[in-house]
Structure 1
Amino acid sequence: MTKTTTAGQRKGVLGEITNFSAAAVNLKRKVVHPVVQVQADVDPHPAVSEDPADVSMKEEQEPFQAFSEVLLSVEDVDEHDTDVLHLCSQYVKEIYNYLHFLEKQQSVQANYMQGYEITERMRAILVDWLIQVHSKFQLLQETLYLTVAIVDRFLQVQKVSSRKLQLVGVAAMQVACKYEETYCPEVGDFTYITDNAFTKSQIVEMEWEILRSLKFQLGCPLSLHFLRRASKVAKCDATSHTLAKYLMELTLIDYNMVHYRPSEIAAASLCLTQLLFDGLPWSSTQQHYSTYDEVHLKPIMQHIAKNVVMVNEGKSKFMTVKNKFSSSKLMRISLIPQLKSPIIKNMAAAALNNL
């Protein structure tokens, strides 16, 4: 089997968080997320009608700009990054505005499998297995999240039989690998991992079907992208960031959470992490950059807490994520006592009452 990437080529837990000096904490100034506009005095030619996509983009950005103006003074978390080119400090805010726009455009509807032959449990079995395959091939974290996103977006527009569900999963992972990885597994690796249940030609054919159904739109915002931004805003340490990743990965299996946006999942995971470790509320700065307040995130945190309790108490058969995060490489984060605290149990009870 072809080995995909080496450990040195992969981002580590610590490498995902940018640390800042203590002096930067006290520097605050007004931040307004600008929307790029064409000035009338720049172009002497008569105005032309705007592209509908551009109009839609501006309409989506307006809430973020208005939200910025509500808060008179918040810390600019990017002002000290000008010398670090890959952080794109000059336009990182516009990047995340655009990611918010994309996640709305590519949203997955709640209960999209209603009337399908495949069920919620079948999806959970598939995703749990894909997480195992992802670990076996030592793929990037982004590849896993993109794989699950592709599966849900495809199944939302294309009904498949239960016997083809695993084929959709491996083809989605093959597409995600080609998009994210430097070195991809070969098609033969996926036929092997399915115990030759599908041929190479069947996998390639399903790849084509997925790409056509999604109109080749693979630039999908992932909760990982938003979590890294949120962790930077909160100045998280590696332990908090890893716990948030664990809580976030548990949501991949939960069909009842597919309709939540990646940015909501990321913000809720970090908000719950803060409550478990330090009892800290969601700050105004975090609210500003995430665009969500704690009231909005509360029902999402309850869903996440429900997932934690299910695996902790053995009520779920899908233990791959917990076992994965119980390794020393990931700080044995799934075994920490905070995950059995009253905060988790009370939130989980509230989620179960609302189902």
Structure 2
Amino acid sequence: MALLRRPTGPAPPAEDISMKEENLCQAFSDALLCKIEDIDNEDWENPQLCSDYVKDIYQYLRQLEVLQSINPRFLDGREINGRMRAILVDWLVQVHSKFRLLQETLYMCVAIMDRFLQVQPVSRKKLQLVGITALLLASKYEEMFSPNIEDFVYITDNAYTSSQIREMETLILKELKFELGRPLPLHFLRRASKAGENLKQQYYTGYTENEVLEVMQHMAKNVVKVNENLTKFIAIKNKYASSKLLKISTIPQLNSKAIQELASPLMGRS
């Protein structure tokens, strides 16, 4: 029986090994894509869908998601606490609906507000000012026609003046370095919804079911608390109970056993 001999001669350069690994990974990715439907294939005629660049765009959004992340306990040790923030968000949802603004505007408003509160201590008296100014900024960014600053003064029952809102606007923009563009939950929701099935969702979102399980549990917990009248923050439920939004918050699936089981670990239930 012949003995196996150790290869003679110099070892291949590390660059060659790295290149082979990269090519192998690319080949695997291409092979996987061949088995998964290209959900952007039929969008080439619509320039707004950017089908040629959409995968790169979402990869960039994932990078921004990390760079602009919010610490889960960013309000610890601050004068503002989670309950105060929840009251403010609940009110902002109502204001957003009253002004009939785009969905992106609400998501961006909350994102701007949280990013600012994370880096800038704010007193209770100015919390609502931060919230309404964040909504103003988001409106300017997302809307074709943003409400006037006087509308925002009016909606706060004249608690703040136009000058105070402009001053806060300047402060927020400076703290965030004018970097308002960021990935919003709505961006990923639309992408995941377009993918549809489990395997395609995993491929196009980059997340497995186990990786999003904790987020799903928290969402289910909030649904259960609303449905069982365990919270006063019901602006979202009321908003999505309208026929314009297909009464989505009233569907029986939100009271299903699956939702209850998802929420149970965080509700202290067996």
Deviation at 1:69, TM superposition (A): 6.0
Residue aligned with 1:71, SS = helix
Can you list the C-alpha shifts for 1:124-151, whole angstroms capped at 9, x where unaligned?
0000000000001111111000000000
Looking at structure 2, the residues matched to 66 and 102 of structure 1 have their Cα atoms a distance apart, in angstroms, of: 27
**2:96 aligned with 1:181:** no
Question: What is the alpha-carbon distance in structure 2 between the residues aligned to residue 314 and residue 174 of structure 1?
Answer: 32
For 1:162, the equivalent position in structure 2 comes to 124
Residue matched to 1:209? 171
1:115 aligned onto 2:30? no
Q: Does 1:283 align with 2:172?
A: no
Q: CA deviation at 1:353?
A: 3.9
SS of 1:80 mapped into structure 2: helix
The within-5 A match list for 1:64-143 is 68=29, 71=32, 73-143=35-105
Say what the alpha-carbon RMSD is for the aligned residues: 1.8
SS of 1:307's equivalent in the other structure is: helix
Aligned-pair distance for 1:70?
Answer: 8.2
Aligned-pair CA distance for 1:86: 1.6
**Cα deviation code 1:231-254 (max 9, x no counterpart):** 1111xxxxxxxxxxxxxxxxxxxx
* TM alignment of 1:190-269, pairs within 5 A: 190-234=152-196
Q: Unpaired runs of 5+ in structure 2?
A: 1-24
Matched, 1:307 2:222: yes
TM-score normalised by length of structure 2: 0.86
Superposed displacement of residue 212, structure 1: 0.2
Identity value in percent: 58
Going by fraction, where is helix more abundant, 1 or 2?
A: 2
User: CA separation of 1:86/1:121 partners in 2, compared to 1, >3 Å: closer, same or farther?
Assistant: same
Aligned residues: 244
- In 2, Cα distance between equivalents of 1:147 and 1:108: 14
Q: CA deviation at 1:109?
A: 0.6
Query: Counterpart in 1 of 2:5?
Result: none
Q: Aligned pair 1:293/2:254, yes or no? A: no
Contact 1:68-1:288 at 8 Å conserved across structures: no
CA distance in 1, matches of 2:148, 2:49: 32
Q: 1:66, CA displacement in angstroms?
A: 9.9
What CA distance in whole angstroms lies between the structure 1 residues aligned with 2:27 and 2:262?
32
Greater RCO (CA < 8 Å, at least 6 residues apart): 1
Structure 1 range deviating more: 327-336 or 70-79: 70-79
Residue 330 of structure 1 aligns with which residue?
245
| Whole-Å separation in 2 of the counterparts to 1:65 and 1:207 | 45
Query: CA separation of 1:78/1:343 partners in 2, compared to 1, >3 Å: closer, same or farther?
Result: same
Show the counterpart of 1:352: 267
Tell me the SS of whatever aligns to 1:224: helix
Query: Closer, same or farther in 2 for the Cα pair 1:123/1:70, shift >3 Å?
Result: farther
- CA shift digits 1:75-115 (9 cap, x unpaired): 21112222222211111111111111111111101100110
Deviations 1:206-241 (Å, cap 9, x if unpaired)?
00000000000011111111111111111xxxxxxx
Higher mean alpha-carbon deviation, 334-343 vs 198-207, is at: 334-343
Within 1, Cα distance between the matches of 2:73 and 2:146? 32
- Return closer, same or farther for 1:67/1:93 CA change in 2, 3 Å cut-off: farther
Residues 303-336 of structure 1: CA distance to partner in whole angstroms, max 9, x if unpaired? 1110000100000100110011111111111111
* Rounded Cα–Cα distance in structure 2 between residues aligned with 1:82 and 1:330: 30
CA distance in 1: counterparts of 2:141 and 2:43, whole angstroms? 28
Distance, in Å, in 1 between the alignment partners of 2:28 and 2:144 is 38
| 1:67 Cα deviation after fit | 8.8
Aligned counterparts, 1:42-61, within 5 A: none
Unaligned runs of 5+ in 1: 1-63, 235-281
**How far off is 1:178 after superposition?**
0.7
Match of 1:343 among 242, 249, 258: 258
